[in-house]
Chain A
Amino acid sequence: MTATVPPPPVLQPGGRVLGTALDPPAPSRRGRVRSRTVAAVLLVLTVAAYLLFRTDGAADSSDAASFRFFDSVRDWVDANRDTSPFFLYGFNYVRLGVRLLVDTVHGALTGLGFAGLVAAVTAIGAVLAGWRTGLLALGGFLAFGVLGLWEESVDTLVLTLSAVLLSVLIGVPLGILAARVRWVGATLRPVLDVMQIMPTFAYLAPMTLLFLIGEPAAVIATMIYAVPATIRITALGISEVPPTAVEAATALGSTRWQLLGKVRLPMARTTIALAVNQTIMLALSMVVITALIDAPGLGQNIVNALQRVNVGAAFDAGVAIVILAVVLDRITTGAARRTRLHRPARQRRTRWIVAGAALAGVVLIALVPVRETDLPAYSFAAPVNDLVGWIELHWYDVTEGLKNGISAGVLDPLETVLVTTPWWLFVAAVAAFGTLISGWRAALIAALAAAGPAALGLWQHSMQTLATVLVAIVITMAIGVAIGVFCARHDRLATGIRPLLDAAQTMPSFVYLLPAVALFGASRFTAIVAAVIFAVPPVVRLVERGLRDVPPTVVEAALSAGSTPRQLLWKVQLPMARGGLLLAANQGIVMVLAMVVVGGLVGAGALGYDVVAGFSQRELFGQGLAAGLAIVLLGILLDRLTQGFHHSKRPRG
């Protein structure tokens, strides 16, 4: 049955698509010894240079040239928003168009009324993905009413759907082009890389500059966040179409358009459906964050709860988000799976009849005068807040001790070292070590990215953020690898933990701040905790998959040679899963960075705070924008170094 069905693409949790990772050949023994020596020499040199040249780590000026530049850009835009042709005929029209789209979607969804919308989603779920999913959708949407979050949930759904619609309209054609036209693919690749490394937070301010606040800016920001996945997965699907089918169709005399419409697109449709699924998931998590620039919906509840440190209220909204995510996910994956099934014409006709009946049913139900307020109400707020209160009271010494211990013992020393390192030494070290582990190309990009923050005048803040990120990554990897190894070795545990991981990955980063802030107050450690919670699930997943991908024949061979389970893990499985582990580290870093930056909302300071302050204080706008840029540069720096690690161990030359 599955012989000619393309396998689902390998997705990173961030929606990044991986090619097939070929196991790089091991470097020669002599090469390894030599590179170890070089590394040791470099390390000694770096330490010596640091001791010689370390600075006193003076604070960043609050008046760097880059800030003034961005401020002047803002002033220009403010002054010319209604006169410059860029805005009159460009951005403002985009804004109007998106506004129209949002209003249309909103009108369509709310026009159905409460009963009608619930019935419609149930029917769509049932027709596209089976009656089980239909029931899930029914229960989920009723739950929005029960939680008292109906309107907010619908608003979030409206923004998500609008952004997904745009992403698909733009992303699918671009994906096709990227797969079919070499230069388009080559041009898009680095752009998409940067877009995916960019922490969500960093581009909210530029969005408001171009599109002001409100739904259009939110939808566009969401689209920017989600569209790389659409493009990448679509391109993957198109390029994975078996060349034999294309050749056969060509040999029968198909035109280019016939090839696209009758061969490539239909054969890639399962993958494209998956692309839509990923796009929806990413869009949903971003839409919530856009509450910071006045997007309506569940995000507002979370922002509100954050401001009042009301974990219970956030919990309700978080539950609603997870429900929405699960319902949308099940419907779209169900629909994607259906695209693989072949059913005889008669059954297909039945489906049309069912769909028609469902439509009639929806129309009828929409006329029933039931409102969401007629449902019984329930809120998790009180019990959750009680629990949080209890923990605060009884665990205070533990949480405080943990926070102070890690802050004073690890974070502060690391931060001091980084902050007192002269920028040129840091750049040189990045370049040298980068060349060693990732090749000169990646090292050059990384070094340029490392020099950027210094040029922007945000050296200290960048190094502080980097220190927090590094500590969070170490903790994330330690926990993630441990759980991943455990899951890979205990099937039952893995099945038990999977739904948890699913739910965790659908939560927007934002939501994790709350429990962290309730337990640890406002501090850098809070951001570390939130980042660890946020990044551990994908790391667990990648580590588990890496371990499970070790060929069973190798494991068998090792076992028959008499390996103990521990030897098997350390000598066979972990070394062979190196690719998966490095990938997990790379992915973990990108996610940790995104979260640490959001931590600026709860006292993590440094770049994240600059960004938050940038869109809350007029005179700090320039600094905020510069900080956003610095964050992107940090992301590129970390990503290049670790990605290079993944790709570079091929023989050079």
Chain B
Amino acid sequence: MRSIRTAAAVALIATLTACGGATSGAGEDKPSAGAKGTVNLAINPWVGYEANAAVIAHLLEKKMGYTVEKKELKEEIAWQGFETGEVDTIVENWGHPDLKKTYIEDKKVAVDVGPTGNQGVIGWYVPQWMADKYPDITDWKNLNKYADLFKTSESKGKGQFLAGDPSFVTNDEALVSNLKLNYTVVYSGSEAAIIKAAQQASAQKKPLLFYFYEPQWLFAKEKYVRVKLPEYKEGCDADLKKVACDYPDYVLDKIASKKFADGNSTAYQLVKNFTWTNDDQNLVSDYITNQGMSDEKAAEKWVNEHEATWKPWIPAGS
């Protein structure tokens, strides 16, 4: 009896070994990187990213004949998609040195495809009226003095610092504790929720201290003032738990999966060539958010009006 069982086990293992096992990328050979196929475009949850993606998708579909599959994914998860083949490219990446190390250097499933041309800024902001009324509020050293102004139902008796989507690049909790600020970080859950709160704070003159970033269309409509945090120095954010300095400036870039890059299709070349200014992006974001246009309509409008900008992105022979 035992010998039969042993034999069966050996046979099973032999079969499996002969098959060589399945790697994580197996079974994902969709014709993505091939000729005129499908491009899997990750969509990260803020409207600026959407603007980049909308324009790229529009060009790929309408001008170059690709099919674009848009995937609503948070940043981390989009990076995981490089490994599984779910994602071909991310078109606005904010830093993420840890992810770059994992996926580009260690796993070698992704490559850096160069800057988008946008300059990224992350910081702490207050509405203009607060800066007018309390001029010294824009220095972090004075924030504790005004903590009472920012109290809300969620802030546990301290001042509220309103953060965004948990997936965003943030050091806020570490900053609050390391700078010994009498504040509680409250997550609104999304960009839209921060924008809503910021608009309300401006319109109804309500106190608000919040996480925000550029490029961002809202700055074209209303004024917000950045609070000065201790100056950023190279490496001061190396240990995320001990950060006590401001956010660095970011050169936003594009990432593609290794497979997509190696295919070197015209779609990949378009992504590689894509580069525009903060104003360009804010314009499209504004179309999407405030003019009630769908992503497609907004992209179409921008593309129709800015041929000079996008013409050079289109690779020769496509």
Q: Point out the residue from B21, B152, B162, B241 that lies within 8 Å of A63, measured CB to CB.
A: B241
Report the Cα distance A343→B288, complex, angstroms: 59
What is the distance, in angstroms, from A153's C-beta to the closest C-beta of chain B?
16
Stretch at the interface among A303-311, A347-355, A429-437: A303-311
- A534 in the interface, Cβ–Cβ < 8 Å? no
| A 397-434 to B, binary, CB cutoff 8 A, 1 in contact else 0 | 00000011001100010000000000000000000000
A208 contact set on B, CB distance < 8 A: 77, 80
Q: In the complex the two chains form, is B193's CB within 8 Å of A522's CB?
A: yes
- B246 in the interface, Cβ–Cβ < 8 Å? no
What is the distance, in angstroms, from B216's C-beta to the closest C-beta of chain A?
15
What is the distance, in angstroms, from A553's C-beta to the closest C-beta of chain B?
51
Greatest chain A CB density within 10 A among B21, B98, B173, B240 is at B21
Known: A303-B72, A307-B191. Is A617-B166 also a contact (CB below 8 A)? yes
Closest to B98 in A: A618
- B86 in the interface, Cβ–Cβ < 8 Å? yes
Report the Cα distance A83→B173, complex, angstroms: 37
What is the distance, in angstroms, from A457's C-beta to the closest C-beta of chain B?
14
Report the Cα distance A384→B127, complex, angstroms: 30
B21 contact set on A, CB distance < 8 A: 85, 87-89, 92
What is the distance, in angstroms, from A623's C-beta to the closest C-beta of chain B?
11
- B94 in the interface, Cβ–Cβ < 8 Å? no
Known: A96-B26, A605-B187, A616-B75. Is A89-B166 also a contact (CB below 8 A)? no
Q: In the complex the two chains form, is B77's CB within 8 Å of A521's CB?
A: no
- B76 in the interface, Cβ–Cβ < 8 Å? yes
Q: In the complex the two chains form, is B154's CB within 8 Å of A96's CB?
A: no
- A524 in the interface, Cβ–Cβ < 8 Å? yes
Greatest chain A CB density within 10 A among B45, B153, B192, B241 is at B153
Q: In the complex the two chains form, is A517's CB within 8 Å of B189's CB?
A: yes
What is the distance, in angstroms, from A158's C-beta to the closest C-beta of chain B?
15
Closest to B70 in A: A300
Q: Point out the residue from B27, B71, B167, B188 that lies within 8 Å of A603, measured CB to CB.
A: B188
What is the distance, in angstroms, from A299's C-beta to the closest C-beta of chain B?
9
- A525 in the interface, Cβ–Cβ < 8 Å? yes
Q: In the complex the two chains form, is A616's CB within 8 Å of B83's CB?
A: no
Known: A212-B80, A403-B153. Is A521-B193 also a contact (CB below 8 A)? yes
- A619 in the interface, Cβ–Cβ < 8 Å? yes
Report the Cα distance A609→B186, complex, angstroms: 10
B80 contact set on A, CB distance < 8 A: 208, 212-213
A603 contact set on B, CB distance < 8 A: 154, 186-189, 193
Closest to A614 in B: B166
Report the Cα distance A214→B197, complex, angstroms: 33
Known: A62-B241, A522-B189, A615-B76. Is A307-B153 also a contact (CB below 8 A)? no
Q: In the complex the two chains form, is A89's CB within 8 Å of B24's CB?
A: no
Report the Cα distance A603→B196, complex, angstroms: 14
What is the distance, in angstroms, from A624's C-beta to the closest C-beta of chain B?
10
- A289 in the interface, Cβ–Cβ < 8 Å? no
A524 contact set on B, CB distance < 8 A: 153-154
| A 203-221 to B, binary, CB cutoff 8 A, 1 in contact else 0 | 0000010001110000000
Q: Which of A61-95 contact B (CB under 8 A)?
A: 62-63, 78, 81-82, 85, 87-89, 92-93, 95
Report the Cα distance A87→B20, complex, angstroms: 12
Known: A212-B84, A214-B84, A617-B76. Is A89-B189 also a contact (CB below 8 A)? no
Report the Cα distance A293→B192, complex, angstroms: 21
Q: In the complex the two chains form, is A212's CB within 8 Å of B75's CB?
A: no
Q: In the complex the two chains form, is B77's CB within 8 Å of A309's CB?
A: no
Known: A92-B22, A619-B240. Is A309-B98 also a contact (CB below 8 A)? no
Report the Cα distance A613→B98, complex, angstroms: 16
Q: In the complex the two chains form, is A615's CB within 8 Å of B77's CB?
A: yes
Report the Cα distance A600→B24, complex, angstroms: 30
- B290 in the interface, Cβ–Cβ < 8 Å? no
- A166 in the interface, Cβ–Cβ < 8 Å? no
Q: Point out the residue from A92, A403, A522, A523 that lies within 8 Å of B23, measured CB to CB.
A: A92
| B 69-108 to A, binary, CB cutoff 8 A, 1 in contact else 0 | 0011111110011011010000000000011001000010
Q: Which of B142-171 contact A (CB under 8 A)?
A: 152-154, 156, 162, 165-167
Known: A92-B26, A95-B27, A616-B77. Is A307-B165 also a contact (CB below 8 A)? yes
Q: In the complex the two chains form, is A306's CB within 8 Å of B26's CB?
A: no
- B16 in the interface, Cβ–Cβ < 8 Å? yes
Q: Point out the residue from A293, A300, A407, A616 that lies within 8 Å of B166, measured CB to CB.
A: A616
Report the Cα distance A88→B190, complex, angstroms: 38
Q: In the complex the two chains form, is A310's CB within 8 Å of B192's CB?
A: yes
Q: Point out the residue from A88, A525, A618 that lies within 8 Å of B76, measured CB to CB.
A: A618
What is the distance, in angstroms, from B188's C-beta to the closest C-beta of chain A?
4
Q: In the complex the two chains form, is B153's CB within 8 Å of A407's CB?
A: yes
Q: In the complex the two chains form, is B153's CB within 8 Å of A404's CB?
A: yes
- A502 in the interface, Cβ–Cβ < 8 Å? no
Report the Cα distance A213→B162, complex, angstroms: 29
Known: A81-B24, A521-B197. Is A294-B77 also a contact (CB below 8 A)? yes
What is the distance, in angstroms, from A596's C-beta to the closest C-beta of chain B?
14
B16 contact set on A, CB distance < 8 A: 89
Q: In the complex the two chains form, is B193's CB within 8 Å of A517's CB?
A: yes
Report the Cα distance A306→B165, complex, angstroms: 11
Report the Cα distance A33→B98, complex, angstroms: 63
B107 contact set on A, CB distance < 8 A: 78
Q: In the complex the two chains form, is A214's CB within 8 Å of B166's CB?
A: no
Q: Point out the residue from B27, B75, B99, B197 that lies within 8 Å of A99, measured CB to CB.
A: B27
Q: Which of A206-264 contact B (CB under 8 A)?
A: 208, 212-214
- A507 in the interface, Cβ–Cβ < 8 Å? no
| B 18-47 to A, binary, CB cutoff 8 A, 1 in contact else 0 | 001111111110000000000000000101
A326 contact set on B, CB distance < 8 A: none
- A108 in the interface, Cβ–Cβ < 8 Å? no
Known: A89-B21, A617-B167. Is A213-B77 also a contact (CB below 8 A)? yes
Q: Which of B186-224 contact A (CB under 8 A)?
A: 186-193, 196-197
Report the Cα distance A87→B22, complex, angstroms: 7
A95 contact set on B, CB distance < 8 A: 22, 24, 27
| A 141-152 to B, binary, CB cutoff 8 A, 1 in contact else 0 | 000000000000
Q: In the complex the two chains form, is B72's CB within 8 Å of A291's CB?
A: yes
Q: Which of A148-178 contact B (CB under 8 A)?
A: none
- A612 in the interface, Cβ–Cβ < 8 Å? yes
Q: In the complex the two chains form, is B77's CB within 8 Å of A293's CB?
A: yes
- A100 in the interface, Cβ–Cβ < 8 Å? yes
Q: In the complex the two chains form, is A82's CB within 8 Å of B23's CB?
A: yes
B240 contact set on A, CB distance < 8 A: 619
A308 contact set on B, CB distance < 8 A: 47, 190, 192
Report the Cα distance A82→B112, complex, angstroms: 23
Q: Point out the residue from A96, A213, A309 that lies within 8 Å of B193, measured CB to CB.
A: A309
Residues of B within 8 A of A (CB): 16, 20-28, 45, 47, 71-77, 80-81, 83-84, 86, 98-99, 102, 107, 152-154, 156, 162, 165-167, 173, 186-193, 196-197, 240-241
**Could you jot down 28 A-B contacts, CB within 8 Å?**
A62-B241, A82-B24, A85-B21, A88-B21, A89-B16, A92-B21, A92-B23, A208-B77, A208-B80, A212-B24, A294-B77, A296-B71, A300-B71, A300-B72, A308-B47, A407-B153, A522-B188, A522-B197, A523-B152, A600-B166, A602-B193, A603-B154, A603-B187, A603-B193, A613-B166, A613-B167, A616-B76, A618-B76
Additional A-B contacts beyond A88-B22, A522-B186 (6; CB < 8 A): A88-B21, A92-B23, A213-B81, A294-B77, A522-B154, A617-B76
Residues of A within 8 A of B (CB): 62-63, 78, 81-82, 85, 87-89, 92-93, 95-96, 99-100, 208, 212-214, 291, 293-294, 296, 300, 303-304, 306-310, 403-404, 407-408, 412, 517, 521-525, 600-603, 605, 609, 612-613, 615-619
> What are the 4 A-B residue pairs with the smallest beta carbon separation, nearest first?
A88-B21, A616-B167, A407-B153, A92-B22
